[in-house]
Amino acid sequence: MYKFNFTGKVALITGGAKGLGKEYVQTFAEQGSDVAVFDIDGQLARETAREIETLTGRKIRGFACDVGNEKQVIDSVAAVVKEFGKIDQVVNNAGILRYGDALADWEKVINVNLTGTFLMNREVVKQSMMVQKKGRIVNISSIGGVLATPAGVQSYHASKAGVIAMTKAQAGEWAPYNILVNSVAPGAIANGTMGDSAGSSTAADDYQAKSRNPLKRRGKFGEMSGILIYLCSDENTYTNGQLILVDGGWAGMM
Ligand SMILES: NC(=O)c1ccc[n+]([C@@H]2O[C@H](COP(=O)([O-])OP(=O)(O)OC[C@H]3O[C@@H](n4cnc5c(N)ncnc54)[C@H](O)[C@@H]3O)[C@@H](O)[C@H]2O)c1
């Protein structure tokens, strides 16, 4: 029988203070995990942690961490291992999007979306998962890692495509340690800032209704979490290195 029971597990979720990351913090905690919430906004991460701890009764702690800063990642992962004893599950969700062609914006987007995921996984694997000889990691990509737009966000597309390729390499390298790594690509999801990237919630809904998306709407709260729960569970023993799109069927349409 499949139970998806996370009691006794420790999850680390980046960009967990708000948006989709906050949804993941809540659903992992409801499933039984204790959770470390990483965010560049440390105060909001701590507020979110308190809120979800009250809601679920799990141990939730907020940490200020810029995922693109190597020292902060090394130190913050060490702090989680000290506080919680180990890390079983990671969702690399922190991400940004910048419009235009300024080099500084390109470097910032690659730094957070791609380098941040690389650094976080390197440290979690080294400091905890290789020692336990077990781990489950999800790297959040985007439909923008598969399909491109002419909207002036080349860095976002490149970073999210990079996440998909890096996921396959990590899955290959760490399989001998029973560490399974997959990527999940959201389409347009309502409860994250980027799901509103058409300009406003209403504009984003209008756009989805007219686009190739066969469900003709954005994703809703909770529609991302199920696949993450499966991929990070003990029941997942053989799905590794995959990309799973949660986009209503959008990327598959002509
Ligand atoms: N919402 C969508 O429709 C959608 C679609 C495709 C992909 N995604 C991806 O899902 C993830 C979450 O998207 P969202 O819409 O919830 O975004 P959001 O902007 O609402 O939340 C992102 C969170 O990441 C944090 N963050 C930003 N830079 C950081 C850094 N350097 N270090 C640590 N934390 C940092 C922010 O403070 C924020 O809490 C992103 O990776 C995004 O690319 C979202």
Among 95, 137, 150, which residue's Cα sits nearest to residue 239?
137
CATH number given to 10-186+224-246: 3.40.50.720
Give strand pairing partners of 179: 135
pLDDT, residue 189, reads 95
With a cut of 70, list the residues of the chain below it in pLDDT. Answer: none
Pairing relation of β-strands 10-14 and 89-92? Answer: parallel
155 Cα to the center of ligand 1, angstroms: 15
* Structural domain spans, the chain: 10-186+224-246
- Ligand 1 pocket check: which of 26, 40, 200 to mutate, most ligand atoms within 8 Å of Cβ? 40
pLDDT of residue 192: 83
Instruction: State the pLDDT at residue 225.
Output: 96
Cα-to-centroid distance, 201 and ligand 1 (Å): 16
Q: How far is CA 189 from CA 177, 245, 248, in A?
A: 33, 12, 10
Question: What's the gap in Å between 34 CA and the centre of ligand 1?
Answer: 21
Nearest atom of ligand 1 to the alpha carbon of 18: 39
Indicate which residues carry an active-site annotation.
Answer: 156
- The atom number, within ligand 1, closest to the CA of 156 reads 43
Query: Encoding tokens for residue 249?
Result: 């069927």
CA of 20 to the centre of ligand 1 (A): 7
pLDDT digits (tens, 9 = 90+) for 27-44: 999 999 999 999 999 999
pTM: 0.98
Write down the mean pLDDT value for the chain: 96
Q: Which residues of 106-133 are buried (b: 16+ CB within 10 A; e: fewer)?
A: beebbbbbbbbbbbbbebbbebbbbeee
Alpha carbon of 108 to ligand 1 centroid (Å)? 14
What pLDDT shows up at residue 78? Answer: 99
Contact 60, 34 (CB under 8 A): yes
Number of H helices, E strands in the chain: 9, 7
Q: Residue with the nearest Cα to atom 25 of ligand 1?
A: 15
CB under 6 Å to ligand 1: residues? 14-15, 17-21, 38-41, 65-68, 93-96, 112, 116, 140, 142-143, 186, 188-189, 192-195
Tally of CA atoms within 13 A in the half-sphere of 1 that contains its CB: 2
Which residue, by CA, sits nearest to atom 7 of ligand 1?
142
Phi, then psi, of 184 in degrees rounded to 5? -125, 130
Q: Give the nearest ligand 1 atom to 97 CA.
A: 43
The torsion angle over the Cα atoms of residues 247, 227, 112 and 38, rounded to 10 degrees, is 140
Which amino acid, one-letter code, is at 16?
A: G
d(CA 28, CA 18): 15
10 Å Cβ neighbour count for 168?
16
